[in-house]
Structure 1
Amino acid sequence: MKRLDRAISKGIKKETHPKAVVKCYPTYVQDLPEGNETGKYLALDIGESVSNFRVLMINFTTEGCDMLSEIYPIAQPLLNRPGVELFDYVAQCLADFVHKYHTGKEKLELGLSFSFPVNQTALNEGVLVKWTKGFNCAGVVGRDVVTMLREAVDRQQKVNIKIVALLNDSTGCLVSCAYKHQDCKIGVIIDSGFNACYVEKSDNVTTFSNVNNKPFVIVNTEWGAFGEDGRLDFLLTEFDWALGTTTGGWNLPNFERMVAGTYLGELVRVIMKKLTRERLILNGTGSKQLFTTGIITTEDVITVVTSAKGNLSICRKFLYERLGLPHATTEDCIDFNYICTLVAMRSAHLVSAGVACLVNRTSFNPITVGLDGSLYMNHPLYHDWIQAKVPALLKSPRELKLVLSQYGRGRGAAFLSAVCAKELVREKKTTNSGSIGERKTLSQRP
């Protein structure tokens, strides 16, 4: 935790940021929903999945908010086509959605949730640092993704949309959670990737130009890269190192690869393979399937652990049919279940250490942590592990809540659009009246 804390401090300082592994990009988000937003707002969520993206419309009423959403597929070839083609396709789907669900012709504000490393230069400007999650569209890295989307929407000539905010998945998670839990100051995504953001004092983030003179700003940590400089080597096992060879050596072992759902299934397989060859399980006899990269998915790990306690039928069926191991004994089934549990538990405990580190960096009390992502949502024990571990890692007791922020990344983008619209109205009123009215910031919640 001390190493992560130092890495974050290095990322938010202007003089050390260029060499920081944990980049800690300021998001320019300095205001959160207050629960009294009104109107209709759009959100576009790109990056949750390599195979699709989501478009949402949030309608705020006096009774809360209603949500409409559609999921649109991304054809595999499009992942490697020029970025202009990807954004044109997204803009076309966005126009279809608007015409399907919105008959009015007034301008709609849109928040873009873009779940890739982006260096933001304003609330609605951000340059793509690198593609991840299987995307590799040429001509996008180094460019402002908001401008590229805006140009694609303009080429449609069918819709009247203004892109007012850019945010990543963890920021969307925090903003969405804050709509109902206004003491939410941390957002964490535990999915195919792993990231977190938190509310930091603006004065501490010297990479951020606080032109609005507000006391706090949300920082997107991009902490998945933590450890690529060797700072996590003391925690790595031989199985973590082996994972680099089986997954094509995408990068060095890091925080994300020890936690995220993309890697847990393969980590279980690597462990099973090693123990089999050492004749510690399966009587030393493996199979072609067991030695095949990617045969075990994180969904498989969750399914095995989800099976009723003491009921090994799911484990046995998986070993027999999927891994071609009909000679697996009851003890082998127990061992397989145990390996799946340990791999997931380590992931949850590492998440807990990261969350505790962020809580310790703040002084908010009470404080809520919003969490989202398939691994957190679907694993039956994951929440309980984090809930038990985080308090034990805090420097001092806090009134702490862990809250599921379902659909957080998409809803958060729409919520932030509503916040931006409300702030614009406030600014106009302030300008017209010549006085400064009351305004709630990240530190002032009812």
Structure 2
Amino acid sequence: MERRAVYTAVTVAAVACVVAVLIIRKRSKGIKWGKVKEMFAEIQSKCALPTEKLKQIASAMETEMHAGLASDGGSKLKMLLSYVDKLPTGDEKGLFYALDLGGTNFRVLRVQLGGKKGRVVDQDHLEVSIPPHLMIGACQDLFDFIAEALSRFAALESEEHKLPEGKQRELGFTFSFPVKQLSLSSGTLIKWTKGFSIEEAIGKDVVAELTKAMERQGLDMKVTALVNDTVGTLVGGRYDDSDVMAGVILGTGSNAAYVERASTISKWHGDLPQSGEMVINMEWGNFKSPLLPITEFDEAMDFESLNPGEQIFEKLVSGMYLGEVVRRVLLKVAQEYPIFGDIVPPKLETPFILRTPQMSKIHHDSSPDLKDVGTKLKEVLGIHNTSLKTRKFVVDVCDMVAKRAARLAAAGIYGIIKKIGRDTKSDPKQRTVIAIDGGLFEHYTIFSKCLDDTLKELLGEEMKNSVVITHSNDGSGVGAALIAASHSDN
């Protein structure tokens, strides 16, 4: 019996070796580039976004915006009330603080505003890493750690920056985790993300927790505004340009906020704000429509993600996912044809090994021999000695994925423009400015240019110069301080 088992095992191993050799021989016959091109053309057709389809997506986005404003749960778009109803005018003066908690680090900022002439007179900040044990520990311990750093930073105020007697320091708190906002300065935590897991904090008012921690430190400071980073981007942009109507984040994640007429918000049951406006945090990453060009690669990535079925739009447009989609396309082609050699490179099978900054480096290589492409393939995926034809193919895959994302982001922005009635020229002098922040937009030049070009394409010849895209840097920091200043009690 033992001999038979050994014989069987040897036979199976031998057959496996023969099969492997036959596969390698088959693959070693050379790359059939005609077949590769056919396969790629089929994928491209599924990613295609002609102008008319983009307009349909924008209209679908607009429809969902209406539904989300009508009632909670009426749309995949949450359309959250920010309670920001006063935007900066440039007249703001004084010293304001900001706390930006968005991940494993947090920043505290001190901003001195000098009105229309002085603008941002002075700015200083401190960045602090959160110890891992505090991310899964007690709620009080986390907020005490943050408040202690804030207290230390506030103690470094210069004499010229000190507030007059009887005036309280005011803080804008950027909290980039899901919260149910109850007012401008309160909101309960819905769930943690980004590695945090403090169960007792869920359902608590994060502003109340921070306030108690500051009191324990003896720090006399009031949280005037609790804001989302997208709202901060809009506000930071509005401070520099009064025509800014929307803020968009295009970085690791993606979201948008815009200025809405308060009278159109059916789910708002309070008194209408005096300004007649309200900033709405769309949470557009969760937008979903049958019109979206979702491929087998997107479906597989979504299925294997931590939140399957959610954040579909974000998974198509944000920096967290673009490199991974490229990897999955290259892996599929490499399994069919030996574009990287007779054996599929093992590293190519590792999820998220190709990050979007590396993809950007590959995509932007303009050298005749695509040297940077070869270097990145070697460094990241362990692929050596690629042909120029193979390197060009990799660039083509990056181009397809990046431009699909950029065109979709442009369609989302066009949907906002349609919703606020800025898609037609009612006033020849009217400008509509979209403030965008995030590393994907700032550093991926081909992406940002395609976004701009696509928006002009959607707007048409008559309107293309009436809508302007601008970069709003550090909205999550300075923007929070500006919201505190706009709603100041001092």
TM-score (norm. length: structure 2): 0.80
1:179 aligns to what SS in structure 2?
A: helix
Change (3 A) 1:319 1:212: closer
Residues 95 and 156 in structure 1, CA contact (< 8 A), matched pair in contact too: yes
1:77, distance to aligned residue in structure 2 (A): 3.5
Equivalent in 436, 442, 456 of residue 377 of structure 1 = 442
Cα deviation digits, residues 204-258 of structure 1 (max 9, x gap): 112222343431111000111112xxx2475210010111344455554601111
Aligned CA distance change for structure 1 residues 282 and 392 (closer, same or farther; 3 Å): same
Q: Does residue 239 of structure 1 match 2:304?
A: no
Structure 1 stretch displaced more, 286-295 or 99-108: 99-108
Structure 1 letter corresponding to 2:479? G
Pairing partner for 1:143 from 196, 204, 225 = 204
Q: Secondary structure of the equivalent of 1:290?
A: helix
C-alpha change, 1:77 and 1:331, in structure 2 (3 Å) is farther
* Counterpart residue number, 1:200: 260
In 2, the alpha carbon distance for the partners of 1:171 and 1:407 equals 12
Tell me the secondary structure at the aligned position of residue 347 of structure 2.
coil
CA shift in 2, pair 1:84/1:272, >3 Å: farther
Decide which of 103, 113, 128 is 1:72's aligned counterpart.
128
Match of residue 90 from structure 1: 146
- Is the contact between residue 285 and residue 311 of structure 2 (CA under 8 Å) also seen in structure 1? no
CA contact (8 A) 1:279 1:285 kept: no
Change (3 A) 1:306 1:85: farther
Structure 2: how far apart are the matches of 1:135 and 1:344?
Answer: 30
Unaligned 5+ segments in structure 1 are 426-446
> Unaligned regions of 5+ residues in structure 2, if any?
1-57, 423-429
380-389 or 192-201: bigger deviation = 380-389
The 3 A distance-change label for structure 1 pair 96 and 383 is same
Q: 1:67 to 1:251 in 2, by over 3 A?
A: farther
Q: Which residue of 2 aligns with 1:130?
A: 191
Distance 1:94 1:165 in 2: 16
Tell me what 1:13 maps to. Answer: 70
1:382 is displaced (CA, Å) by 2.3
Q: How far did residue 378 of structure 1 move?
A: 0.8
Pair 213,107 (structure 1): closer, same or farther in 2 beyond 3 Å = closer
Name the Cα RMSD after superposition. 2.0
C-alpha contact (below 8 Å) 1:107/1:162 kept by paired residues: yes
Q: What is the rounded CA distance, in whole Å, between the counterparts of 2:277 and 2:338 in structure 1? A: 54
1:407-422 alignment, distance < 5 Å: 407-421=474-488
Quick one: distance in 2 between partners of 1:81 and 1:335?
Answer: 48
What is the letter of the counterpart of residue 403 of structure 1? T
- Matched ranges for 1:364-443 at <5 A: 364=422, 365-394=430-459, 397=463, 399-421=466-488, 424=489
What residue is the counterpart of 1:119 in the other structure? 180
Q: Residue 376 of structure 2 aligns with which residue?
A: 318
282-291 or 17-26: bigger deviation: 282-291
Corresponding residue pairs, total: 415
Residues in 1 aligned to 2:88 and 2:390: alpha-carbon distance in whole angstroms: 51
Structure number with the higher helix fraction is 2
Distance in 2 between the 1:197 and 1:249 partners?
Answer: 23
Kept in 1: contact 2:69–2:79 (CA 8 A): yes
Give a deviation string over 1:166-220, Cα, whole Å, max 9, x none.
Answer: 1101100000011110111100001111110011110111222234343111100
Letter in 1 for 2:59: K
Partner amino acid for 1:359? I
Letter in 1 for 2:171: L
Partner secondary structure for residue 241 of structure 2 = coil
Question: Is 1:164 aligned with 2:224?
Answer: yes
Q: Are 2:261 and 2:276, in contact at CA under 8 Å, matched by a contact in 1?
A: yes
Residue deviations 1:339-385 (CA, integer Å, cap 9, x gap): 22221211111110110000111135311100001111111222211
Shift of 1:301: 1.1
- Could you list the per-position Cα deviations for residues 67-110 of structure 1 after superposition, in whole angstroms to 9, with x for gaps in the alignment? 11121112334333333332222111111211124553652110
Question: What is the CA distance between 1:310 and its match in structure 2?
Answer: 3.3
- Residue 108 of structure 2 corresponds to 55
Query: Is the 1:264–1:298 contact (alpha carbons within 8 Å) kept by the matching residues of 2?
Result: yes
Aligned partners of 1:136, 1:306: CA distance in 2, in Å?
39
| Secondary structure of 1:42 counterpart | strand
Residue type of the partner of 1:266?
E
Q: Distance in 2 between matches of 1:287 and 1:42?
A: 50
Which structure has the greater CA radius of gyration? 2
Matches for 1:275-290 after TM superposition, within 5 Å:
275-279=333-337, 281-283=339-341, 285-290=343-348
For residue 218 of structure 1, what is the amino acid of its counterpart?
V
Check whether the contact 1:244–1:253 (CA below 8 A) recurs between aligned residues.
no
Between the aligned partners of 1:169 and 1:32, the Cα distance in structure 2 is: 15
Letter in 1 for 2:214: V
Contact 2:233 2:479 in 1 (8 A): yes
Counterpart AA for 1:194:
S
Q: Which residue type is aligned with residue 28 of structure 1?
A: Y
Q: CA deviation at 1:296?
A: 0.8
2:105 & 2:113 partners in 1: Cα distance? 26
User: Which of 381, 388, 394 does residue 330 from structure 1 map onto?
Assistant: 388
Q: Secondary structure at the match of 1:45?
A: strand
Measured in 1, the distance between the counterparts of 2:105 and 2:450 equals 31
Indicate if the aligned counterparts of 1:11 and 1:21 stay in contact, CA closer than 8 A. Answer: yes
Q: Which residue identity lines up with residue 31 of structure 1 in the other structure?
A: K
The separation in 2 between residues aligned to 1:90 and 1:102, in whole angstroms, is: 22
Q: Contact 2:97 / 2:110 at 8 angstroms: preserved in 1?
A: yes
> Partner residue of 1:177?
237
Deviation, 1:141, is 2.6
User: Whole-Å Cα distance in 2 between the matches of residues 2 and 211 of structure 1?
Assistant: 27
- Give the letter aligned to residue 414 of structure 1: A
Distance 2:59 2:362 in 1: 34
Can you list the C-alpha shifts for 1:23-47, whole angstroms capped at 9, x where unaligned?
Answer: 1011111111111211110011111
SS in 1 for 2:345: coil
